[in-house]
């Protein structure tokens, strides 16, 4: 008896006992559904949040001229907004009392970095920063040191480079202390950024950081001379206070009339940052434990139904044995039946789980998370196929063994 | 109406059939056990989180009011709040001399984004300047050493009491008392370490240090600073009395016209409690929603096995009906069978869950501080057992209902003729 035949037999058994099989499938499906939907939804949320906040650290808020997340934005209105000048940002920094951790930066894309004969791709982001950049943002230096306050004040030509730049320009040498050239200006490398990897296909390591004073002198884009101000609240409870204060100071600095809307963007992602990942992790743990628990309960149910099935088919087994079926064949037949049941249930759960998480991501997208994208949970799908097989074998083994060890004479006589 | 003797008969048959198919009964029960264990554990975890939260609130002080320029709930009326005048130390001291109902009136100067330096390492934390009265609040309970004394306060001694978070970060090996920390360049001697106060998202509370008010002026200055005033009320019952009195004095001190709103906020722990409430509800809904999946699966197992049971005993049902058993009697027989299975599941699940909790708590002691682990109950509350059993019986009845109805509606003639 070959495996295909066993599978067909299993389908026959499923078909002949529709209600019973349906309930069994449902129970396996619920377990798989829990695991797939929780993993997939959390994955999508996490990715969306990480994408938005690739750099912004915990408890931080970002003040920009225009929003970093664009959806339904009235660009004509945005363009009329005046730049946040470096001077304005510095005044803002001095006026804030609820926190000292305020950093001013500006980014310009599309630079080529040269070192000796080597040169990088012309798509490097150049970021002008100050000494508190690393204290506020979730970015850190893995070798060398950050840029100091005095280097910012005296416009020293120093640079911190990302891992991609290290790989192209200094594959074999130690980058620290080397000179790099950016548009004919020479900088000495004092530090290397910790690798961050890519977010949605965009590398976060393809960047060079220099003092913002130097940046302002040579690299400011005429049409985008507006700086970004990142503010780190002292703690999560201080976020509302810091937001209030920052809004107030920014409005007064930019002469916003009381009846007018803000002419700048203030993004805070307090609830969605550090706490968010802790929260998703906890939720994932609960989801996995519950899902696995449900799968074990379903497995027990399968074992029960297989035992019933063995009992009901005692005569059939007796006949097959009398006709010379080997033990191995009987075991195989029942194992394949239980695995088939598990896989069918798993498939149902998977489809349900994927549909649900797709629906939830679409729903979130239509509300307030434009960057969320549905992530097909490939890993979890593979895992559920494996776990369904394991459960099918684990809980089907005993009933199969019991069927195989029936005494043919007794079995034939069974009523 | 079902007579008692009939009910007894049904129950006996139900128990018999459970006993005859012992393995099957055990397996079905096991499915329910898995579900109940998970739900009960979730219930225990949520209970533990609540207990820890209560403890945090209790340590920080349920009987404390804080007068601040800012509102802790972070109202959106920033323009109004921003326009408020700072609360000066002078105003705080005036309030102190006028207040009668509060046990202690404690001025506080805070620098949220400060840092302390130990050798080459620096740590971001908030720095609070206060008076020796602070020692009388529950938040000032020390793990090691002591809070500063009135003498030290008046002489602006360079002494510092560090929060538990600062202690853990800077002195992981212990023995902080007697060491020197630098705050804004000047050396301070550590005289005390506070006990752990915050938990979950309140842990920033442990990330602060306390120094005498005048020492605070020496290192950070009073310029452009709004003070807050802590009022220790003694008991929760006194909160309203103290609040009313404080509002009256503060309005007088700050010359608020009778028709104007308060130009200060009175904050209390309830503000945090409100914020925590939504999170707690969310945890409850998601946690219970997920763990209940296994329980549903278990009850589907019961339903399934009851159908099998009905099919297998079609002939028996036919005979019973033929000799006069009523539909309700058959119905009762199968309902009792499934309810018993479920109830047994809940009863067995309880000791298992209790065992897991004992183990988990053992681990929790390792992860958490000792004082926190002791807050979490080592026992699963008995009312949870009651609920579990009751819910299981109901679920058992529901799961058994369809199969039992099918059995009770069998046509006796057909049933007698039935061959497997």
pLDDT for res B231: 92
Q: Are B45 and A290 in contact (CB under 8 A)?
A: no
A242, A272, A302: which is the final residue of a domain?
A272
Q: How many domains does chain A have?
A: 2
Task: Sort out which chain A residues have CB atoms less than 8 A from B291's CB and list them.
Answer: 286, 289-290, 293
A113 and A231 within one domain: yes
Nearest CA distance, A250 vs chain B (angstrom):
12
- The answer to whether the CB of B88 falls within 8 A of the CB of B95 is no
Which residues of chain A does B124 touch, with a Cβ-Cβ cutoff of 8 Å? 101, 135
What band does A53 get if pLDDT is binned at 50, 70 and 90?
Answer: low
Exposure string of A349-381, with b = 16+ CB inside 10 Å and e = fewer, is bbebbbebbbebbeebbeeebeebebbebeebb
Q: Where are the alpha helices (DSSP H) in B61-163?
A: 78-83, 89-98, 150-154
Residue B414: pLDDT over 90? no
CA nearest neighbour of A116 among A170, A165, A153: A170
Q: Out of A19, A298, A301, whose CB is closest to B307?
A: A19
The distance of B76 to chain A (nearest Cα, Å) reads 7
CB-based contact A235 B207, cutoff 8 Å: yes
Query: What tens digit of pLDDT does each residue of A329-353 get?
Result: 889 888 998 998 899 999 999 999 9
A392 touches chain B (CB under 8 A): no
- Integer Cα distance of A276 and A268 in angstroms: 13
**Quick one: which H or E segment has residue A257?**
none
Alpha helices in A149-238, H assignment, sequence order: 149-153, 163-169, 212-218
Same domain, A158 and A38: no
Same domain membership, residue A342 and residue A239:
no
In 3-state terms chain B splits into helix, strand, coil percentages (rounded to 5) of: 60, 15, 25
Q: Which of B109, B164, B228, B113 is nearest to A234 (CA)?
A: B113
CB-CB contact of A129 with A105 (8 Å):
yes
User: How much is the average pLDDT of B173-198?
Assistant: 88
Give the residue from B194, B240, B225, B189 showing the smallest Cα distance to B90. B225
Indicate whether A268 and A289 sit together in one domain.
Answer: no
Q: What is the rounded CA–CA span in Å between residue A394 and residue A385?
A: 14
Nearest chain B Cα to A288, which residue?
B290
Judged by CB atoms closer than 8 Å, whether chains meet at B290 and A287 is answered as yes
* One domain, residues A298 and A409: yes
- Average pLDDT for residues A210-239, to the nearest whole number? 80
Q: What percent of chain A has pLDDT over 90?
A: 17
Confidence of residue A272 (pLDDT cuts 50, 70, 90): very low
Q: Are A290 and B304 within 8 A, CB to CB?
A: no
Confidence of residue B72 (pLDDT cuts 50, 70, 90): confident
pLDDT band at A92 (very low <50, low <70, confident <90, very high): very high
B304 contacts in A (CB within 8 Å)?
20, 23-24, 27, 301, 304-305
* A260/A93: higher pLDDT: A93
C-alpha span between A79 and A220 (Å, rounded): 17
State the Cα–Cα distance between residues B316 and B5, nearest whole angstrom.
Answer: 19
What's chain B's average pLDDT? 84
* Other Cβ atoms within 10 Å of A167 Cβ, number: 13
Look at residues A272, A288, A316 and tell me which one is the last residue of a structural domain. A272
* Mean pLDDT, residues A21-37 taken together: 89
Whether A316 and A367 map to the same domain: the answer is yes
Angle at A181 between CA A178 and CA A182, to 5 degrees: 135
Span A273-302, average pLDDT: 79
Statement to judge: residues A266 and A289 lie in one domain: no
Same-domain check for residues A124 and A177: yes
The predicted structure's pLDDT at residue A201? 42
Give CA–CA dist B361/A320, Å, rounded.
54
**Sign of the CA dihedral running A32, A38, A43, A48:** positive
Provide the total of helices (H) and of strands (E) in chain B, helices listed first. Answer: 14, 10
CB nearest B301 (choices: A232, A233, A301): A301
- Cα–Cα distance, A3 to B25 (Å, whole number): 32
Instruction: Please indicate whether, in this complex, the C-beta atoms of B291 and A27 are within 8 angstroms of each other.
Output: no
Phi, psi (rounded to 5 degrees) for B325: -70, 140
B303/A308 touch (CB, cutoff 8 Å), yes or no: no
* Local structure of A199: helix, strand or coil: strand
What pLDDT, on the 0 to 100 scale, is given for residue B366?
Answer: 62
Average pLDDT over residues A289-309: 89
pLDDT in tens, B208-264: 899 999 999 988 888 778 899 999 988 888 888 999 999 999 999 999 888 888 888
Question: In the structure, what pLDDT confidence band is assigned to residue A188 with cuts at 50, 70 and 90?
Answer: very high
pLDDT band at A87 (very low <50, low <70, confident <90, very high): confident
Beta bridge partners of A382: none
Please name the residues between 60 and 99 in chain A that touch chain B, using a CB distance below 8 Å: 97-99
Give the pLDDT mean for A307-321: 88
Is a pLDDT exceeding 50 seen at residue A415? yes
Question: How distant, in Å, are the alpha carbons of A19, B11, B334 from that of B311?
Answer: 12, 19, 12
The candidate with the shortest Cα–Cα distance to A309, out of A332, A329, A338, is A338
Contacts 24+ apart (CB under 8 A), A272-281: A272/A49, A272/A52, A272/A53, A273/A49, A273/A53, A273/A56, A273/A57, A273/A58, A273/A59, A273/A60, A274/A58, A274/A59, A275/A236, A275/B201, A276/A45, A276/A46, A276/A49, A277/A46, A280/A42, A280/A45, A280/A46
Residues 194-253 of A with CB under 8 A from B: 232-241, 243-245, 247-249
Residue A142 shares a structural domain with residue A203 = yes
Alpha-carbon distance of A404 to A394, in angstroms, equals 16
Which residue on chain B is closest to A233 by alpha carbon?
B113
Residues in chain B with CB shorter than 8 Å from the CB of A300 are 27-28, 30-31, 34, 301
pLDDT recorded at residue A164: 86
Query: What CA–CA distance (Å, rounded) separates B193 from B146?
Result: 7
Q: Kindly state whether residues A243 and A116 are assigned to the same domain.
A: yes
For chain A, what is the mean pLDDT?
A: 82
Q: How far apart are CA B130 and CA B153, in angstroms?
A: 8
Question: Chain A partners of B402 at a C-beta cutoff of 8 Å?
Answer: none
A283/B286 CB distance under 8 A: yes
Cα–Cα distance between B331 and B1 in angstroms, integer?
Answer: 12
From A255, A272, A289, the end of a domain falls on A272
- List, as ranges, residues 251-290 from A with C-beta within 8 Å of B: 258, 275, 283, 286-287, 289-290
User: Which one, of B224, B269, B271, B264, lies nearest residue B248 by Cα?
Assistant: B264
Which of A38, A100, A301 minimises the CB distance to B300?
A301
Picking from A69, A376, A98, the residue whose alpha carbon sits closest to that of residue A231 is A98
What confidence score (pLDDT) does residue B15 get? 86
How far apart (Å, rounded) are the C-alpha atoms in residues B420 and B417? 10
At B33, give phi and psi (nearest 5°).
-55, -45
Render pLDDT for B122-131 as a digit per residue (tens, 0 to 9): 777 889 999 9
How far, CA to CA in Å, does B156 sit from each of B112, B166, B189, B215, B222? 21, 22, 12, 5, 14
C-alpha pair distances (Å), B46 with each of A193, B43, B51, B388: 41, 5, 9, 16
pLDDT band at residue B384 using 50, 70 and 90 as cut-offs: confident
Interchain pair A308, B308: CB under 8 A: yes
β-strand A113-115 against A179-182: which pairing, if any?
antiparallel
Residues A111 and A227 grouped into a single domain: yes
CA distance B3 to chain A (A): 33
Can you tell me the mean pLDDT for A63-80?
60
CA distances to A127, A181, A263 from A192, in Å: 14, 16, 36
Question: Which residues of chain A does B345 touch, with a Cβ-Cβ cutoff of 8 Å?
Answer: none
User: Average of pLDDT values for A395-401?
Assistant: 92
Q: How far is CA A236 from CA A228, B58, B265, in A?
A: 21, 20, 19
Burial of A74 (0-12, 13-18, 19+ CB in 10 A): exposed
Prediction pTM value: 0.67
Q: The domain containing residue A390 runs over which residues?
A: 3-52+275-413
pLDDT for residue B95: 92
Q: Is the CB of A26 less than 8 angstroms away from the CB of B72?
A: no
Q: Between vectors from CA A134 to CA A122 and to CA A143, what angle results, nearest 5°?
A: 70
Model pLDDT for residues B140-162, shown as the tens digit of each residue = 888 889 999 999 989 989 999 99
Q: What mean pLDDT comes out for the span A285-301? A: 88
User: Quick check: A38 and B290 CB within 8 A?
Assistant: yes
Which of the four pLDDT bands, split at 50, 70 and 90, describes residue B19? confident
- Other Cβ atoms closer than 10 A to B253: 18
At residue A346, the pLDDT reads 93
* Residue with more model confidence, A69 or A327: A327
CB A112 within 8 A of CB A120: yes
- Do residues B190 and B179 make contact, with C-beta atoms less than 8 angstroms apart? yes
What's the pLDDT tens digit per position in B325-359? 888 888 888 898 888 888 888 889 989 988 988 88
- A165, A288: one domain: no
Percent with pLDDT over 70 in chain A:
86
B chain contacts of residue A20, beta-carbon cutoff 8 Å = 304, 307-308
């Amino acid at each position: 008896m070959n495996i295909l035949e066993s599978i067909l037999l299993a389908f026959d058994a499923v078909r002949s006992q529709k209600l019973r099989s349906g309930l069994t499938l449902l129970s396996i499906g619920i377990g798989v559904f829990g695991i797939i939907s929780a993993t997939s939804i959390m994955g999508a949320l996490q990715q969306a949040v990480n994408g938005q906040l690739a750099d912004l650290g915990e408890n931080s808020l970002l003040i920009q001229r225009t929003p970093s997340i664009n959806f339904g934005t009235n660009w004509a209105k945005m363009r009329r907004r005046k730049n946040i000048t470096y001077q304005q940002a510095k005044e803002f920094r001095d006026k804030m009392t609820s926190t000292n951790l305020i950093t001013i930066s500006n980014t310009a894309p599309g630079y080529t970095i040269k070192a000796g004969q080597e040169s990088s791709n012309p798509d490097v982001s150049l970021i002008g920063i100050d000494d508190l950049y690393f204290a506020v943002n979730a970015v850190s230096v893995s070798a060398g040191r950050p840029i100091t306050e005095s280097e910012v004040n005296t416009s020293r030509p120093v640079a911190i480079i990302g891992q991609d730049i290290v790989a192209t320009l200094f594959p074999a040498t130690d980058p620290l202390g080397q000179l790099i050239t950016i548009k004919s200006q020479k900088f000495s490398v004092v530090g290397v950024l910790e690798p961050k990897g890519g977010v949605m296909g965009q590398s976060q390591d393809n960047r060079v950081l220099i003092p913002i004073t130097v940046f302002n002198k040579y690299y400011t884009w005429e049409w985008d001379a507006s700086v970004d101000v990142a503010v780190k609240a002292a703690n999560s409870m201080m976020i509302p206070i810091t937001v209030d204060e920052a809004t107030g100071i920014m409005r007064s600095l930019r002469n916003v009339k009381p009846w007018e809307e803000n002419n700048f963007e203030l993004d805070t992602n307090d609830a969605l940052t550090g706490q968010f990942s802790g929260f998703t992790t906890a939720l994932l743990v609960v989801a996995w434990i519950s899902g696995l628990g449900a799968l074990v309960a379903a497995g027990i149910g399968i074992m029960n139904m297989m035992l019933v099935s063995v009992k009901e088919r005692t005569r059939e087994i007796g006949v097959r044995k009398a006709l010379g079926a080997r033990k191995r064949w009987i075991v195989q037949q029942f194992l394949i039946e239980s695995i088939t049941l598990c896989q069918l249930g798993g498939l149902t759960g998977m489809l349900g789980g994927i549909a649900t998480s797709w629906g939830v991501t679409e729903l979130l997208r239509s509300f307030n998370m434009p960057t969320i994208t549905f992530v097909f949970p490939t890993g979890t799908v593979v895992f559920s196929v494996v776990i369904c097989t394991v459960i099918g074998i684990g809980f089907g083994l005993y009933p199969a063994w019991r069927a195989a060890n029936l005494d043919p004479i007794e079995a034939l006589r069974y009523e | 109406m079902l007579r008692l003797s009939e009910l007894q008969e049904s129950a006996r048959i139900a128990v018999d059939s459970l006993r005859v198919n012992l393995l099957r009964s055990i397996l079905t029960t096991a499915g329910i056990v898995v579900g109940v264990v998970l739900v009960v554990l979730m219930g225990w975890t949520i209970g533990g989180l609540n207990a820890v939260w209560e403890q945090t609130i209790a340590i920080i002080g349920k009987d404390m009011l804080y007068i601040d320029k800012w509102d802790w709930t972070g109202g959106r009326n920033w323009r109004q709040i921003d326009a408020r005048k700072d609360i000066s130390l002078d105003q705080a001291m005036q309030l102190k001399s006028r207040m009668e109902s509060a046990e202690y009136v404690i001025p506080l100067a805070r620098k949220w984004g400060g840092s302390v330096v130990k050798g080459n390492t620096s740590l971001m934390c908030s720095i609070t300047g206060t008076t020796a009265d602070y020692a009388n609040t529950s938040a000032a309970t020390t793990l090691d050493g002591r809070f500063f004394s009135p003498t030290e306060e008046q002489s602006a001694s360079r002494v510092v009491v560090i929060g538990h978070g600062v202690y853990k970060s800077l002195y992981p090996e212990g023995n902080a008392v007697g060491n020197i920390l630098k705050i804004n360049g000047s050396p301070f001697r550590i005289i005390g370490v506070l006990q752990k106060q915050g938990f979950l998202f309140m842990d920033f509370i442990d990330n602060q240090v306390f120094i005498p008010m005048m020492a605070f002026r020496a290192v950070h200055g009073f310029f452009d600073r709004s003070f807050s005033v802590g009022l220790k009320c003694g008991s929760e019952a006194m909160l309203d009395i103290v609040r009313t009195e404080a509002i009256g004095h503060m309005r007088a001190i700050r010359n608020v016209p009778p028709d104007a709103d308060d130009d200060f906020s009175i904050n209390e722990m309830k503000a945090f409690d409100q914020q925590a409430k939504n999170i707690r509800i969310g945890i409850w809904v998601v946690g219970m929603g997920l763990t209940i999946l296994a329980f549903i699966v278990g009850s589907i197992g019961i339903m399934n096995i009851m159908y099998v049971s009905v099919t297998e005993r079609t002939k028996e049902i036919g005979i019973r009906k033929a000799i006069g058993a009523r539909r309700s009697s058959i119905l009762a027989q199968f309902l009792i069978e499934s309810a018993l299975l479920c109830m047994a599941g809940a009863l067995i699940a309880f000791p298992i869950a209790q065992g897991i909790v004992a183990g988990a708590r053992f681990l929790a002691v390792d992860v958490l501080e000792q004082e926190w682990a002791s807050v979490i109950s080592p026992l699963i509350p008995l009312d949870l057992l009651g609920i579990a059993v009751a819910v299981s019986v109901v679920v058992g009845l529901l799961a058994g209902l369809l199969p039992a109805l099918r059995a009770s509606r069998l046509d006796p003639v057909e049933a007698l003729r039935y061959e497997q």
